[in-house]
């Protein structure tokens, strides 16, 4: 269970140029092409380097394999396969062929180009029914947001074949071998839960739940022991959970605790009890409480475990008789806290390696050992390493002999800093580097930031970051307020009228990094995606000389315009985060003070690369286009105002519009490489860095 899901629920192939022409004139398209052309040679070079880097880490550990009673299921480019664990010498058996689904598109009347686009499916998630009679899988195409779900009947009853197809399925779980619960993605909302019954005489779909609040997102999930299915209804500020006991025959939902403002909770199951992670602890932070399954409401909640001050719970799982919490300690490092449910006062803490920045818990298999937890730990520059935690005695054992991951990591250092913000708040910064800090004054610096919706910065392994580190870059991750790194209060401090604090935090982080002897503004680039563009764009308006270059992906830049427009799919929901400028004058004043688009002024800005997607419903393209145009105009005005003797090189403002609707970027490997290679080419060109050359192999 991911706590971030309580706050935000929260992942393009080429489509016709018609969409792009609707947004831009022919002359604008030509201008964009010429702006990108200057980086073409460098982009080709870095694409080769990136491909080689990905190849080096192609065999890293992951948990994409799903374990059944006797088979393991895994995803390949052309579908889903399974292997019999009892007969390992047998060849893998394909149970879902994506080519068969693509051929179904051929009779839809699409032209050749459109048919080519619709045939490119990728598998997102798979779910097995309890006795492996059926497999359900969601499939995704880059050019549209909504996934498709296919249900496959598995051997030995019959050869594997698709027995049912459902469009726009977001979350889905099996309650029995014949009953699948699922939610439908409508626009960017999930508000309805359905039940699919499969039997020998046919199938039946029944509506089970419909949410009436427009700011609530609905998901279905299955407890780790597979006995309880939950319907989770979450807004930014409140939760409501309904449960279905999968061990009974009627499968009717019942309510845990009615929704109330500022109450967030998530439910797991243990024996005949509910183990609940709720923000009922000191300071409205998360603690673990317990309630009988028969009396689940809040009046029955009994505190089971409350973390020490400064320790923040990020995730919870119930494994056998143990509740395992992923937590962040006061210094920022990840730890595991194990609460023995039969003796909750005997909780103990497991220290993880100091470099660990991200953790992935292995999803429970059909025949899981309930005395052991398997997980992966990683960092942006360190590939995942498998670990096993034996819960009875707290033994932590690495899946590798020395706890290492592929590649040499001996020269890479993780340093945790704290920057003092304008109001005295200490803001954590995670720094990755190869040289000692005192030797980083001439190193190029890449700064990452997000700071919204209570979400932590993504710090999973990324081959692109590893490549930068190997080329002598320092990488900084600024955990500003608005994110969730230091708990729910960390987000609350930078919501609505407190949004300016995130901008102040980012400024403080940069100043602290520079004062520590790391890099300089002329060698510094900022990177952000989506809502992370807000503090970056605001800082560029206020202090443009603090960085030389900026890369923004699917950037949210017109906060004021978006919050004024209730017709946009996320506006009503997002007003809990940004405020309501229509109904509240104070909110309007606050947003107007930092909104990147509405505070552009004639001055010398850093160079900016903006990557946007023409079909992205989360961040409308119009806001990105307005920002780009106004920024270019401001730079031109500033340049015209200065005497020629004082003129300085004009920054490059580059807009890279890609077709597709995937807000998180392309899933196609080649398209992803092109996009990332362009970013690297842009950074090296704008920071005037020498092009790194790989070491030549010695001739024998």
Kindly state whether residues 380 and 437 are assigned to the same domain: no
Q: Tell me the residue length of the chain.
A: 700
Dump pLDDT digits (tens) for 253-263. 999 999 999 99
Q: Is residue 20 part of a domain?
A: no
DSSP codes of every residue in 423-483: TS-EEEEEEEESS-GGG-TTS-EEEEE---TTPPPP-S--HHHHHHHHTT-EEEEE--BTB
Q: What is the pLDDT of residues 160-204, one digit of tens each?
A: 889 999 999 999 999 999 999 999 999 889 999 999 999 878 899
Are 327 and 375 in the same domain? yes
* Percentage above 70 pLDDT, the chain: 89
Residues 335 and 424 in one domain: no
Which residues pair with residue 210 across a beta bridge?
192
In this structure, the answer to whether residues 674 and 550 fall within a common structural domain is: yes
With a cut of 60, say whether residue 7 has pLDDT above it.
Answer: no
Residues near 370 by beta carbon (within 8 Å), at least 6 away in sequence: 319, 320, 321
* Locus of tokens 């014949």: 178
Active-site residue flag, 616: yes
Residue 19 pLDDT grade (very low, low, confident, very high; cuts 50, 70, 90): very low
- Cβ neighbours for 633, distance < 8 A, ≥ 6 positions apart: none
pLDDT of 18 reads 26
Among 153-157, 259-263, 350-354, the minimum mean pLDDT is found in 153-157
Q: Are 130 and 226 in contact (CB under 8 A)?
A: yes
Half-sphere exposure of 402 (CA within 13 A, CB side): 7
Tell which phi-psi region holds residue 104, choosing left (phi > 0), alpha (psi between -120 and 50) or beta.
alpha
**Residue 559: inside a domain:** yes
Lowest mean pLDDT among 387-401, 460-474, 568-582, 618-632: 387-401
Is 543 one of the catalytic residues? Answer: no
Q: Is 28 an active-site residue?
A: no
- Confidence at 697, pLDDT banded by 50, 70, 90: low
Q: Which of 142, 315, 456, 616 is catalytic?
A: 616
Does a structural domain hold residue 427? yes
Whether 681 and 42 have beta carbons less than 8 Å apart is answered as yes
- Yes or no: say if 241 and 228 are a contact pair by the CB < 8 Å rule: no
**Can you tell me the mean pLDDT for 544-570?**
96
Here the CATH number for the domain that contains residue 537 is 3.40.50.1820
Residue among 129, 530, 590, 607 flagged as catalytic = 530
Q: Are residues 338 and 443 in the same domain?
A: no
- Minimum mean pLDDT among 18-27, 133-142, 254-263: which range? 18-27
pLDDT digits (tens, 9 = 90+) for 615-667: 888 998 999 999 999 999 999 999 988 877 666 788 999 999 988 777 888 87
Q: Are 291 and 274 in contact (CB under 8 A)?
A: yes
- Segments of 148-188 assigned E as strands: 148-153, 161-167, 169-174, 179-186
Which of the two residues, 132 and 660, has the higher pLDDT score? 132
Whether residue 142 has pLDDT greater than 90: no
C-alpha 321/C-alpha 546 separation (Å) is 52
**Angle in degrees, CA 403, 471, 689, rounded to 5:** 160
Question: Closest Cα partner for 301 from 290, 313, 310?
Answer: 290
pLDDT of residue 4: 37
Q: Say what the pLDDT of residue 135 is.
A: 95
**Residue 315: inside a domain:** yes
Instruction: State phi, psi for 449 to the nearest 5 degrees.
Output: -155, 150
475 phi and psi angles, rounded to 5 deg:
-115, 125
596/483 same-domain check: yes
* pLDDT at residue 441 in the model: 96
Q: What mean pLDDT comes out for the span 63-79?
A: 88
User: Where does a domain end: 378, 399, 420?
Assistant: 399
Q: pLDDT band at 13, cuts 50/70/90? A: very low
- Is 15 or 562 the better-scoring residue by pLDDT? 562
CA 6: distance to chain centroid? 14
Same domain as 683, residue 657: yes
In this predicted model, which residue has the larger pLDDT, 294 or 660?
294
Report the pLDDT value the prediction gives residue 2, as an integer from 0 to 100.
Answer: 43
How many domains does the chain divide into? 2
Among the residue ranges 8-17, 420-429, 518-527, 599-608, the one predicted with the least confidence is 8-17
Residue 500, pLDDT > 80, answer yes
Q: Answer yes or no: do 483 and 553 share one domain.
A: yes
pLDDT tens-digit profile of 95-122? 999 888 765 555 544 455 544 444 578 8
Handedness of CA 12, 15, 17, 22 (dihedral sign): negative
Single out the residue of 125, 343, 84, 327 nearest to residue 222, CA to CA. Answer: 125
Confidence (pLDDT) at 544: 97
Q: What mean pLDDT is predicted for residues 430-443?
A: 96
Asked if residue 85 has a cis previous peptide bond (ω within 30° of 0), the answer is no
The half-sphere exposure of 680 on its side-chain side, counting CA atoms within 13 A, is 28
User: Do both 316 and 424 map to the same domain?
Assistant: no
Q: What residues pair up with 181 in beta bridges, in sequence order?
A: 173, 195
Q: Residue 58 has what pLDDT?
A: 87
**What pLDDT is attached to residue 100?**
81
Range of the domain at 452: 412-640+647-687
320 lies in a domain? yes
> Quick one: which of 113, 11, 37, 122 has its CA closest to 618?
11
Tens digit of each residue's pLDDT (9 = 90 or more) over 206-230: 999 999 998 999 999 999 999 999 9
| Across 193-202, 399-408, 455-464, 555-564, least confident range | 399-408
Q: For residue 504, tell me if it sits in a domain.
A: yes
Q: Residue 482 CB: number of other CB atoms within 10 A?
A: 30
Task: Using DSSP, state whether 226 is helix, strand or coil.
Answer: coil
Residue 586 lies in a domain: yes
**Residues 566 and 458 grouped into a single domain:** yes
Whether 541 and 669 map to the same domain: the answer is yes
The per-residue pLDDT for 22 is 31
**Do 476 and 348 fall within a single domain?**
no
Please report whether residue 631 resides in a domain.
yes
Report the pLDDT averaged over residues 523-527.
Answer: 98
How far apart CA 441 and CA 27 sit, in angstroms, is: 43
């Amino acid at each position: 269970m991911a706590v971030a899901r309580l706050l935000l629920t929260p992942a393009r192939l080429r489509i016709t140029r018609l969409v792009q022409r609707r947004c831009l004139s022919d002359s604008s398209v030509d201008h964009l092409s010429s702006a990108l052309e200057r980086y073409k040679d460098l982009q080709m070079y870095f694409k080769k380097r990136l491909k080689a880097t990905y190849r080096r880490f192609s065999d890293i550990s992951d948990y994409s394999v799903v374990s059944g009673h006797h088979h393991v299921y895994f995803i390949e480019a052309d579908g889903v396969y399974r292997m019999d664990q009892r007969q390992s010498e047998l060849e893998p058996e394909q149970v879902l062929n994506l080519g068969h689904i693509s051929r179904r598109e051929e009779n839809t009347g699409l032209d050749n180009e459109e048919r080519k686009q619709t045939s490119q499916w990728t598998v997102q998630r798979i779910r097995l029914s309890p006795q492996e009679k059926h497999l359900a899988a969601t499939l995704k195409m880059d050019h549209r947001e909504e996934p498709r779900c296919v249900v496959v009947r598995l051997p030995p009853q019959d050869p594997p074949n698709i027995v049912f197809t459902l469009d726009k399925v977001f979350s889905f779980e099996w309650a029995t071998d014949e009953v699948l619960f699922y939610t439908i993605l409508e626009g960017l909302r999930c508000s309805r839960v359905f039940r699919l019954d499969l039997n020998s005489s046919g199938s039946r779909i029944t509506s089970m739940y419909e949410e009436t609040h427009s700011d609530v997102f609905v998901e279905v999930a299955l407890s780790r022991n597979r006995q309880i299915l939950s319907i989770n209804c979450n807004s930014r500020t409140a939760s409501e959970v309904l449960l279905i006991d999968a061990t009974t025959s009627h499968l009717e939902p019942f309510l845990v605790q009615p929704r109330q403002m500022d109450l967030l909770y998530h439910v797991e199951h243990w024996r005949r009890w509910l183990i609940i992670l709720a923000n009922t602890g000191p300071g409205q932070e998360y603690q673990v409480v317990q309630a009988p399954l028969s009396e689940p409401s809040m009046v029955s909640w009994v505190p089971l475990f409350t973390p020490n001050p400064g320790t923040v719970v990020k995730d919870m799982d119930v494994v056998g008789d143990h509740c395992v919490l992923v937590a962040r300690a006061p210094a920022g490092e990840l730890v595991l806290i194990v609460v023995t449910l039969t003796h909750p006062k005997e909780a103990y803490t497991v220290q993880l390696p100091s470099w660990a920045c991200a953790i992935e818990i292995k999803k429970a298999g059909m025949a899981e050992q309930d005395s052991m937890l398997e997980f992966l730990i990683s960092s942006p520059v360190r590939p995942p390493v498998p670990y096993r935690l034996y819960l009875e005695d707290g033994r932590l054992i690495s899946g590798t002999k020395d706890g290492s991951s592929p590649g040499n990591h001996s020269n890479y250092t993780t340093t945790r800093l704290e920057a003092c913000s304008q109001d005295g708040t200490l803001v954590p910064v995670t720094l990755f580097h190869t040289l000692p800090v005192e030797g980083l004054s001439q190193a190029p610096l890449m700064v990452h930031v997000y700071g919204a919706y209570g979400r932590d910065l993504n710090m999973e392994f990324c081959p692109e970051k590893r490549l930068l580190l190997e080329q002598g870059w320092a990488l900084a991750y600024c955990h500003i307020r608005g994110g969730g790194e230091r708990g729910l209060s960390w987000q609350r401090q930078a919501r609505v009228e407190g949004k300016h604090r995130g901008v102040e935090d980012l400024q403080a982080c940069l100043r602290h990094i520079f004062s520590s002897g790391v890099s300089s503004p002329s060698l510094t680039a900022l990177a952000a995606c989506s809502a992370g563009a807000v503090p970056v764009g605001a800082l560029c308006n206020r202090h443009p000389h603090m960085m030389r270059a900026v890369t923004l992906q699917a950037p949210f830049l017109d906060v004021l315009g978006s919050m004024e427009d209730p017709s946009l799919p996320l506006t009503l929901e997002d007003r809990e985060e940004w405020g309501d400028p229509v109904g509240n004058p104070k909110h309007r004043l606050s947003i107007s003070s930092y909104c990147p688009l509405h505070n552009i002024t004639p001055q010398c800005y850093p160079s900016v690369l903006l990557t946007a997607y023409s079909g992205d419903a989360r961040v409308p393209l119009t806001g990105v286009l307005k920002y780009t145009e106004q920024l270019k105009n401001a730079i031109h005005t500033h340049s015209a105002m200065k005497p020629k003797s004082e003129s300085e090189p004009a920054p490059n403002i580059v807009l890279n519009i890609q077709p597709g609707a995937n807000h998180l970027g392309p899933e196609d490997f080649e398209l992803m490489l092109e996009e990332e290679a362009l970013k690297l080419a842009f950074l090296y060109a704008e920071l005037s860095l020498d092009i790194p050359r790989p070491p030549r192999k010695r001739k024998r």
